[in-house]
Each structure stands twice: as structure tokens, then as C-alpha cells.
Amino acid sequence: MSCIAFGDSHTVKTTGQSDIIDITEMIRESVEASGIAEGQCLVFVGGSTAGITTMEYESGLVEDMKRVLAEIAPEDREYKHNERWHDGNGHSHIRASLIGPSIILPVSGGRIPLGTWQQVVLMEMDNRPRERKIMISITGVE
């Protein structure tokens, strides 16, 4: 067996302000296109005000996540970042740092074996709409 690698990328438009977008199907399609049966799938978003994680993507939990992030890093708090750059998104950087820019998922049987209620989501923390590039890198064996 030899190890193979596959790369893919997608652009996602966000609305800003803790927009949470289900990107599970995009990842599933990339894994299928890769032809890799067993391995790992790295999902990464470029930018310091966005994150990637898993959660149950349902409206109640989406609203709960937004509320909790707002409690942890409120928009109206004083941030040194805002004093320096005057862009008002210090809270966005803190929230994104807590979530992280990437996740590694297993590939088994040519699929990502997520739990029944588990989805992969892009979390936009910036205070304005953005276009985010999602990079997917899959390595493993056929």
C-alpha cells in the first residue's frame, strides 16, 4: 500500500457576527472524490476571525453557541486590538482563537464517521460578512 494525498478548497460566503454554517456535505464530497478509504481529513479555514469545529447543527444549539461566545468575549468590552486597529473586532479574534482554525477527522471506509447528530461547521466571528476559503487535505490509502 502506498500513501496518497488529495487537496480541495471551497469558498464560503458568510454574513458575519457569529454566523455558523454547516460544511459537512462539502467535506463528504471531497473525501469521496479523493478515493481514499482509510486516513485523515484536515479541514482548515484561513483567517484569524473564523473557526472550524463540530456540533449538532440545529437552530437551538446554534443560538446557544452564539450566546455563550458572546458571554465569553462580549463585543462591547475594551480590547487592546480595537485600540490599535480601530476595527471593532477584538472580540472576533478572541472567539476564533478559542474555537481554532482547523479540525482533523478520520476517514474510514471512504467516509468521515461522524456521530448521528454531529456536523462540521464553519464559525464566522468577524463583525462583517466575509468570503472564507476552506481548505481540505486528505491523506491515506485507497
Q: What is the mean pLDDT of residues 104-125?
A: 97
Tell the residue number behind the cell numbers 456536523, with chain if given.
Answer: 119
Fold of 4-141: Jelly Rolls (2.60.120)
Biggest alpha carbon–alpha carbon distance for the chain: 55
Q: How far apart are CA 49 and CA 70, in angstroms?
A: 14
C-alpha cell at 50: 473564523
- pLDDT, tens only, 1-18: 789 999 999 999 999 888
C-alpha cell at 125: 466571528
Which residues, 6 or more positions from 136, have their beta carbon under 8 angstroms from its beta carbon? 7, 8, 9, 10, 26, 27, 30, 41, 42, 43, 44
- pLDDT, tens only, 20-66: 999 999 999 999 999 999 999 999 999 999 999 999 999 999 999 99
Sequence spans of domains, the chain: 4-141
For the full predicted model, state whether its pTM sits above 0.85: yes
Q: How far apart are CA 59 and CA 5, in angstroms?
A: 35
